[in-house]
Amino acid sequence: MDLPAYTKQQLALRNGQDKPQIWVAYKGLIYDMTDSRLWRNGKHYEHWAGQDLTDELPDAPHTEAVFEKFTPVAVLIKPGSF
């Protein structure tokens, strides 16, 4: 699977406000949450779309298995990997 790559700045625009897409990153992959009823208006409880949620997952009431319901749409470019 050859996915496009986006920077954190590009991901930040997919927050449901600046652009209609609602995307979040987890462990280097970007997931499209636009169709999830739990991410209405780019917000999911205290989390906002357009961010890398890898470090925030340990505080969530669910495991990373939640991402298995969604298909990755891109990879997140790590800073300094150009």
pLDDT, averaged per 10 consecutive residues of the chain (82 residues), comes to 92 94 96 92 90 87 86 90 58
The per-residue pLDDT for 25 is 97
Give the E-state strand segments of 10-60 in sequence order: 23-26, 29-32, 43-44, 47-48
Rounded to whole angstroms, how far apart are CA atoms 39 and 48? 9
Evaluated on CA atoms 12, 15, 21, 23, the torsion sign reads: positive
The topology under which CATH files domain 5-76 is Flavocytochrome B2; Chain A, domain 1 (3.10.120)
The per-residue pLDDT for 20 is 93
